[in-house]
Structures are given as structure tokens and as C-alpha cells.
A and B are shown apart, each in its own frame.
Chain A
């Protein structure tokens, strides 16, 4: 499998895997090691413990501040979907494997299922809902449409955001870079050919599946 391009942003608590906080650590030796480091970090930061009850949280989403009252254990993904009804990002694997929940935080693509909402405070959060302006699709979204890069569409919003972050960093990618850089998003219907063409079309290259 290709290397994943997603990076979790540095967190105030140095605990980016809520799975650990929930006591549901992954059954992986590397996961256990990460968990031990996280435990130490959490102990160090003990003075900052908040919750477990609801706490006020402010999130800057698509340029607008949103005030919420949520438990600290609520993920960024669940906050977006359940509290703000921004349901573009989807919950699929719920543990950083599939990319269906991808949003952009501080300019980097992030799995929203694996970041707590409280960690995202003070950061610039971009979701798929903010990509089209006044109802007009972003060129990348239009390229997805043109190249039939969606079937059931459930991976699509996450894929669009991953492609957006990828293109911001690699405005003129080769197909090899596309294949390597977008390995962090999975599709079940098999739309990868269209996705790759959509990214290339957006970069001004071609778009081999567009209308003939």
C-alpha cells in the first residue's frame, strides 16, 4: 500500500488518538507503544484535565466561529456531523484507515475521526461544505463530476478534501505523485481512475474521462 500523506497536526495535549483516551487502544504493538507515550503525555498535562462533562468549545469552520457545548471525548468528526450538521465528512472506519472523514486543519488533510474537537480549537478547519462558493462548484469538484469520480459517493467528500490538500501542496503533480499522495483514502465502488483524472484535470493536465 502506498505511503499515506495524512498527518495529524501537533496537538496541545500530544494525544491525537482518541481511541487511546477511550481505552480502546489498537491491537498493534506500535499502537501500544504510542499509547504508553500518550499516557505519559496525558499525565504531564494532568493539570489541564477537562470534562468528562460537557464543556464549551469554539471551532472555526470554513472561516466562521461556531460555539458548541460538548463532552471532551467528542471527535471533530462527530462534532461536525452531529452538532453542526456538516455531514459531508463521513464516519466509515472510525480509526484513521479510510479517509472518508478527511477535512483540512491548518492547511493539512486530517482524519477528523481521530482528532478530538477540543484539539481543533483555534485552528482553521476547512470542510467540503466550504469548498463551493455561492453554489458554484470548486474546479476540483467540477473535475470530479466531469470524470465520474464518484459512484455511491460516500468516500467522495473525504477524497475531495484530500485531493484539495494534495493539490495545494503539489499544484503540478505527475500521475505517480497522485498515486502515492492519495493513498490515504479508500473507495469501495472503485472510482480511483476518475479521481486521478480529476486531480490531473484540476492541475490543468487532462481529464481523460470527461465528456467526449
Chain B
């Protein structure tokens, strides 16, 4: 068995280069087909009637008029939504209609009569006292002796902080095309979980998993919200069956996409901190609460990154009548990061310390990666010119424009998931890699090709990558938690090394060598110690005769000593923001945003950098714009569209600097670590702290909108700085 490892940095021909993604030409030309672009012969369209109430009992449903409409092919009351059932959030689907086109299906929805009995609802959780029996407190957690530590603390601060529910807002809404052939189902989904959907569709439809095929080339965003078939996916399969098995296309309208297809839980907290006068943090206490819908919301990892030796933690989940939570890029970390670093930053201000010095003073609380954080903090500070630009809280400059700096740092796991790659070397020298994975736009296809190319000593263009089919291709995990690139690259590396072992056995006699003396480099199979003895790749593969070489490689989800260092988990990363706040309008403007990010071995520097840039922009979105707004009275969402559910535009982001931590041999030696989540965690903290530094007062709740900035300034005592 080969020793699975990455080549030494000096010997890498492909890994670490900046390579454009192989599927970008299809995306820029409109050729890339998403599930929402699929049009199957005879395709019908599904629409769902949604409950207008946040909490209600279904009394009766009359679908007869809709059924009689010309062009309507199937009408079905959704599972567990019949008379007597309880609806727990507004916009939940109640009845599905399939028709010849979307407009006819929409018209048919108007003909359905559902009578509801309204029940009491709770949709807003910020006021915990008003949550009544919807509040479910969890057991208190105590570490060390917080009471004694607070008594002994020389400085104590206390503050309230919060961040509301936001949604995934995938541009391609959730949905799929389903098509039956007898009892065999083909699904064209928009998913982060190609291999996993096979069983997830089979089980509720009560068909063997072997009857399900999944087909997906591209997905228009997921961010953690697209792992399951969804209730509407399964309903669509039922509706399709009812319509004679014809293909049925279902994609959520924007209002449903924003409010029923996944949200990120809120997080509010009252935080108390104790420290010594020299800045050493000694005590932490918090009471947090959150909602992610009907099941409430779990406690974020507080305090974040820094383990305070004495702490008391209380958390209360609040069950609300709102669309349920789903994993949202780095679940619970952005909330934890913002809450923690806001409180810490307030402590630094109280101590009259430069917050950078304050964090460096406490960096040992970061544990095993303390020194990495220290170095990353210093690098980021250099890039944003922290020491030159920093001032104590409250920009002393005259006028209405106040400038400030803030920072935050983060951590994430990111070990490669379970994944299998099937690599084929054909006698004509062509190579393909099949993996049942998906490319969310991060460059997964390109990464697989780069790893195979590096391993086989071929150009990247020589590798054909096949993904997005199940069960046709070997099983690969869902794309969540920054696990994909580690998983597929480790699996591909193993498959490549396994394939070479078999190929070398066939080629060795022709070179009068032992298989162990051979290597594949620069389009040749050659003797390691005597490269002049070689066969060009095609002549080497011709030795396979007429049978292609098909070899697998597997990455296991859990680490084992025998694995070598192909993938690892645990990263740091530091972000610093420079903002200007207009204290007359309350508008926060990004000037500069710096990220320093480690992620082990970098396969494609260009796409790695894009992950960081994209995360930072997403972070600007949730720091300055994004917020789900629910109407207390009706229990309905007030901003179920993209005018009022706001994202940042190209003019809102300022100048970005990304520094990939690539020149550190110690980090490189750890192998591949996922990068999708880490850089999205710290923007709230960095931007929120920059706002406080600029205007001299804490804006306690994200997003830092003009209204909240002005409210904080008013509380402070007006516009004077």
C-alpha cells in the first residue's frame, strides 16, 4: 500500500497554483444548466398554497374548484396538513397543485379554500421576558469559580448584545424537477448533497434506494440550507405520480425561499466580564437566548475562541412560530464571535487599552493555536496599518465622518468528509475521476482535477472530472462544514497513488526497473534516480493492453494514524475592519477589510482566496444589512423579498485585502483543511467593533443600520463626539 501523503512543497507542479475554475466558461456564457433550468419533455409545474398565519389549526380544505380547472393535472393536500392539523409558521405549504404551466398553477391556488382557526403566536424573541412558556432554559454550566473571580476582578463590565435571525437567501431557490418511470425516480435537484439524496428521497416515498437517480451539474447557492429533499420535494414526487409520472418542476417563490427554506438562529446575550487592570481577562458570565423557529435555538460557543478560566453560562431556547433553522455557514460561530468580541472590546475600551494589545495580552486563552493567532494578528495589523490608524474609542477628528478600526478572530474544524474517488486510466492515456460530490461554486471540480494531475504528473486539462450523479459515481459526503475539499482531494490523492502502483507494475518491465523505482512526473513515467529511463505517459498507459485501469481511493471521516497528513482539522484566522460612520445619517461605510487566513495546504490559491473574499462580503451583508423582520401582530414576515431583505451591493464593500497563510511549513504540513466557513465568522465582530471605535459608543445589536447607529448615538447624548 502506498504511503499517502502530499508531495513536498518544492516538488509540487500543480498544487498551490492559481488556476481558473474549469466550469467558469459555462457559467459566464449561460451554458451552465442548473436544476431550475431543466426542462424535461412534457414537464408540468407545481405551486403550493401557503398558510397566511403564523400559528393556526386547519379547519377545512376545499380543493374541488382547483381540480376542475383546465390545465390542472394534480391537486394534493400536503402530508400531515389535513383538517385538524396544526401549522407552526407562516408560509408553510398546505396544498400542492400541478398544472401545465406556472401561471395556471398559480391561478388554481386562488380557487382553493382553506379555513383556519388562528392560534396564539410568538414570532419575535428579542424581549425574553415576553416569551412566556416559549422560553426553555437549559441547565447552567460553570467552570472554575466565577463568583470568586468576579469578586477579585479589578474591572467589571456588563452589556447586552444581539444579532437577529437572518436567512440563507440562495439565489437559486430550493427546488427540483422529479420524474417517474414506473417505480423509478429521477431527481434533478438543487442540492449540497448529491449522494445523500438517494436514500432521503427513497425512504419517504417507500421505494428502494436503488430506484432513485440524482442528477445535478450546478447549484445556485446553498450555504447550509440544501441537504435534504425538503417536504416540497417529496410532495412534488407524490404530485408527479398523481399526474401520471410526468416530470414536475418545483422551485420556491422568493418569499418562501427567504422564510421557509432555512434561517440562521438569532443570538442575544447579557454578558459580564471581569479583568485585571493589566488587561488579563479572568471571569465570564452570560445569559444568552436564541431562536431558530419552533424548536428554539441552541447556545453558541461562548465565550468564543478564548477560554476564560472562570465562567458561568446560561442559555434559553425560545420557540417561535417562524420558519425552521438550518445550518448556515459556520453554524453558531458568527453569533458567538460577535457577542464575545463585542464584550471583550468593551472591556478593552474600559481599560483604555488598544484592543490589539488587549487581545495579544490574552492570547494564551486561545489554547493550542495561540501563537498562530498572535502571528496572524500582527500580520493583519500590518496590512491595515493598525498602529498608525488606531485611536481610543471615539474618533477625535472634527466633522460628521468618524473613522474606526475593529477586529475579531475565529476558528473552525474543516476535516475532509468521507468520500470515495474512482479514477480511470484508459489505455489511450486519458484519465477521468468520478466522485458523487457537488461543486457549490468553490471550485471542487478544479480541485479534483488539480490533485489528480499533480499525482499522475499530468496537466490539469488532461483530467476529466465527473461529479453530480448518484448512485452512478462513488458516494461522497454532503458539502457542509468545510469538509468537501479535504474529502475529495484526499480521496483523489489516494485513488491516484493506488492507480500509479498498479500502472507501475505494468510499466516496470519495459523500463527494466522495479515498480518501486518509478515515478510519474511531467507527462512521463520514469525512474526516480535515472529520469532518462522513461516512457511518455501514453506509451506507459498503452501497457494496460485493452483494459482500462479503474482504481478507488477512500477518505474516511474520522482521522486515523495510518492516514498520513492528507487532511486535518482546526484553523485560526483574523479579520480587521476600517469603517467610516456618518454620525448625521448613521450610515456605516466600509473603507478597508483585511483577512489573514490559514487553511493548511492550499490546493488552488485563486479559489481559496475567492472563498475568503466571498465570506467577507457575506459578512458585510449580515453586519450592515441583513435581518429577518417579523410582524408582531400578524406573525408574518415583513421583508419577504429582496428589496427589504437587503444584501450588500458592489458599492457597499470597500477595499479588501486577503492574506493566505501559505508560507508557514508547519501549517502546510497539516494537509488540506476546509475553508468555506472560517472567514465568514469574524466580520460581525470586526465591523461592529470598528463602528464602536469610530463613534465612541457601542451599537449593541447587528446589523449596524443607520437607525441603530443613531439610536446608540442618542443614548450616548447626541452627535457631539
Contact = CB atoms under 8 A, between A and B. Distances in A.
A167 to B, nearest CB: 14
Given A137-B28, A189-B441, A93 B618 contact: no
B646 A150 contact: no
Nearest to B643: A97
A211 B169 CA distance: 31
A: interface residue count bin? 35 or more
Nearest to A154: B220
B172 A154 contact: yes
DSSP majority for the A interface? Answer: loop
Contact of B29 (A74, A81, A137, A189): A137
Interface in B283-336: none
B606 A132 contact: no
DSSP majority for the B interface? Answer: loop
A151 B613 CA distance: 11
Contacts of A137: 25, 28-29
B601 interface: no
A183 B651 contact: yes
B72 to A, nearest CB: 16
Given A152-B220, A154-B220, A156-B27, A190 B254 contact: no
Nearest to A74: B103
Contacts of B646: 1
Contacts of A146: 20
Contact of B614 (A151, A154, A179): A151
Nearest to A196: B650
Contacts of B218: 152-153
Contacts of B254: 92-95
A66 interface: no
A150 B27 contact: yes
B462 interface: no
Contact of A95 (B441, B606, B643): B643
Interface in A171-205: 178-180, 182-196
B250 to A, nearest CB: 13
Interface in B36-92: 36-37, 39
Contact of A144 (B28, B101, B652): B28
B221 A160 contact: no
Nearest to A141: B28
A94 B641 CA distance: 9
A188 B618 CA distance: 7
A9 B253 CA distance: 26
B21 interface: yes
Interface stretch (A34-42, A82-90, A115-123): A82-90
B513 interface: no
Interface string B141-180: 0000000000000000000000000000111110000000
Contact of B606 (A127, A185, A209): A209
Interface string B493-537: 000000000000000000000000000000000000000000000
12 contacts: A1-B649, A2-B650, A97-B643, A98-B642, A141-B25, A153-B220, A180-B651, A185-B650, A191-B613, A192-B617, A211-B19, A211-B606
Interface of B: 18-21, 23-25, 27-34, 36-37, 39, 101-103, 169-173, 218-221, 223, 253-254, 440-442, 606-607, 609-610, 613-618, 641-643, 646-653, 656
Given A97-B642, A190-B616, 20 more contacts: A2-B650, A82-B39, A87-B34, A89-B30, A91-B36, A92-B171, A95-B643, A132-B29, A137-B25, A137-B29, A148-B20, A150-B28, A153-B32, A154-B221, A183-B650, A188-B221, A190-B613, A190-B617, A194-B610, A212-B18
